[in-house]
Amino acid sequence: MRWVTFDCFGTLVDWLSGFSAILAPLFGERTAEVVRAYDRFERALETETPHRLYKDVLAAGLLRAAEHVGVPLTESQARRLPQQWGTMRVFEDAEPMLAGLRADGYRLGVLTNCDEDLFAETQRAFRVPFDLVVTAERVRDYKPSSSHFRYFSRVSGVKDGEWIHIANSWYHDITPARALNIPRVWLDRDDTGQDPADASVRVRSAGEVRPAIASLTSRRSS
């Protein structure tokens, strides 16, 4: 078990703060309301066929969210999200965790609901590139579908139970990882109140991830 994969946005990158900061000039005090509405519309858009690029999901979801809350927004303004994607910051506790896992001998991958070019911008924010990145654009599907996990397994050569997945999102990551019997650490940054029983381990900060992985691997080897 020498691979660890991550969701990126919300897990390694501060999606909520970054997303809100990009939108604040457009929505002011109603930003939080728009972000909540956007989340619902994004999920619906990602299930539609044919597959559309994430940058198009971002713009379409924001237009629908703005209309839903009654705030005017143009197509050009909706494109602010993908245009400023690279401004979102890595969580302060993420880099020490990643460095520690590399020192422990793990290879690190990312399974993200993102486009190739958008993630390339995000990749530059990290000190070291990831060993393998699986995007929604590459698999033409969005989590919580199993496509990212299946693709990673084929390309890396590891079976579903032979790597550990780390994620903040219960909906996008923990649920499908459980269905595939992939060991999973729930990095519950948002304190969602979901039942932690479906995760192999629940932690609240990246600093707790390495001990959680050590516990999982020790448990499996014994």
Which residue type is seen at 66? A
State residue 6's pLDDT score. Answer: 98
The beta strands (E) that lie in the chain are given as 3-6, 107-112, 132-135, 164-167, 184-187, 201-203
From the list 46, 61, 162, 17, the residue with the least C-alpha distance to 113 is: 46
pTM of the model: 0.95
Tokens 């979901």 locate to 194
Domains of the chain: 3-14+87-221 (3.40.50.1000), 16-86 (1.10.150)
Q: What is the pLDDT of residues 112-154, one digit of tens each?
A: 999 999 999 999 999 999 999 999 999 999 999 999 999 999 9
Q: What is the pLDDT of residues 67-78, one digit of tens each?
A: 999 999 999 999
- Mean pLDDT across the stretch 49-66? 96
User: Which structure tokens are listed for 39?
Assistant: 């989340």
User: Which structure tokens are listed for 33?
Assistant: 């309301």
DSSP annotation of 50: S
38 pLDDT higher than 60: yes
- Distance, CA of 24 to CA of 30 (rounded, Å): 8
222 pLDDT higher than 60: no
- Distance, CA of 153 to CA of 90 (rounded, Å): 26
